[in-house]
């Protein structure tokens, strides 16, 4: 692959705009109107995993959140804020948690060396390993890594289904499914791990939350920028 500098990227951008407009003069006007994606994608930050391209969706059709090893943690306000906006405001119907084989984050979780801040981030992947430890019997190092990449996706689907955001949506009758998919960087294929959850009954009773009171305030999609008005008046 050729070595590009930042100026080349801006040049590429102008070419990309020209190409889009050549195909459809209204491309960007239409895109600007598209604010209701049906899908949310939670994926790994790995640069080899292109979020919307490989599932055939154009910009505007998928709301994306990415972090190292596609984690959904109960105290990660970055991820949860994105999920809440996607569920409560955009009303996405599907959240795809997409892991991938040969994930550097999962690999680092299986190693003892010091990798820095990321060690704290991925420590819980070892918990997933311990939870499913018998399933690793007979694995080679590489097949163990593949298996842990799959189980990591399954764990994140469970974590997300345990969240109040998702269960509140289900309790008010909103259609929402969480899927666990895994991508192979070797052949480009995505696979459904068969761990989808689509209602409260899919959640273990101990993780179910009581329905939210109907009087609670919900964020709205087109609320006025009251803070902006207040500080600029």
> What residues contact 91, with CB distance under 8 A and at least 6 apart?
36, 174
**Pick 152 or 167: Cβ nearer Co ion:** 152
Q: Taking the complex as a whole, how short is the minimal distance between the CB of residue 159 and Co ion, in angstroms?
A: 17
* 124 annotated active-site: no
**Pick 57 or 118: Cβ nearer Co ion:** 118
**Pick 170 or 183: Cβ nearer Co ion:** 183
**Pick 42 or 169: Cβ nearer Co ion:** 42
Q: Report the alpha-carbon distance of residue 188 to residue 154 in Å, rounded.
A: 20
* 65 annotated active-site: no
Catalytic residue among 103, 149, 154, 162: 103
* Residue carrying structure tokens 């009954």: 201
Q: Could you list the beta-strand ranges (E) of the chain.
A: 39-44, 62-67, 94-100, 177-183, 190-192
Q: How many Cα atoms are found within 13 Å in the side-chain-facing hemisphere of 60?
A: 10
Residues in touch with Co ion (CB under 5 A): 44, 46, 103, 105
Tokens of 199: 């209602």
Tokens of 208: 């179910």
* 94 annotated active-site: no
> What residues contact 51, with CB distance under 8 A and at least 6 apart?
41, 43, 62, 64, 66, 98
164-171 helix and 77-84 helix, angle to the nearest 10 degrees: 20
Which helix (H) or strand (E) segment holds residue 142: the answer is helix 141-161
Q: Report the alpha-carbon distance of residue 116 to residue 50 in Å, rounded.
A: 26
**Pick 146 or 202: Cβ nearer Co ion:** 146
Q: Taking the complex as a whole, how short is the minimal distance between the CB of residue 233 and Co ion, in angstroms?
A: 46
* 48 annotated active-site: yes
Contact 41, 96 (CB under 8 A): yes
Q: Taking the complex as a whole, how short is the minimal distance between the CB of residue 51 and Co ion, in angstroms?
A: 13
Catalytic residue among 19, 48, 127, 192: 48
* 46 annotated active-site: yes
- The set of catalytic residues is 44, 46, 48, 100, 103
């Amino acid at each position: 692959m050729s070595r590009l500098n930042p100026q080349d990227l801006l040049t590429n951008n102008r070419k990309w705009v020209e190409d889009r407009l050549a195909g459809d003069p209204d491309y960007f006007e239409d895109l600007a109107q598209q604010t209701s994606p049906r899908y949310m994608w939670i994926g790994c930050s790995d640069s080899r995993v292109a979020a919307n391209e490989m599932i055939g969706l154009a910009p505007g059709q998928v709301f994306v959140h990415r972090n190292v090893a596609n984690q959904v943690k109960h105290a990660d306000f970055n991820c949860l804020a994105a999920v809440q906006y996607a569920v409560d405001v955009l009303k996405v119907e599907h959240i795809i948690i997409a892991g991938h084989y040969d994930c550097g984050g999962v690999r680092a979780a299986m190693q003892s060396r010091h990798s820095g801040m990321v060690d704290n981030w991925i420590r819980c992947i070892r918990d997933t390993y311990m939870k499913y430890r018998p399933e690793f019997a007979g694995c080679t190092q590489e097949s163990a890594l593949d298996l842990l990449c799959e189980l990591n996706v399954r764990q994140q689907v469970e974590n997300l289904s345990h969240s109040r955001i998702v269960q509140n949506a289900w309790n008010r009758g909103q259609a929402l499914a969480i899927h666990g998919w895994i991508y192979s960087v070797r052949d480009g294929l995505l696979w459904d791990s068969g761990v989808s959850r689509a209602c409260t009954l899919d959640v273990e009773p101990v993780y179910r939350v009581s329905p939210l009171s109907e009087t609670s305030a919900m964020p709205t999609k087109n609320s006025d920028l009251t803070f902006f008005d207040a500080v600029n008046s």
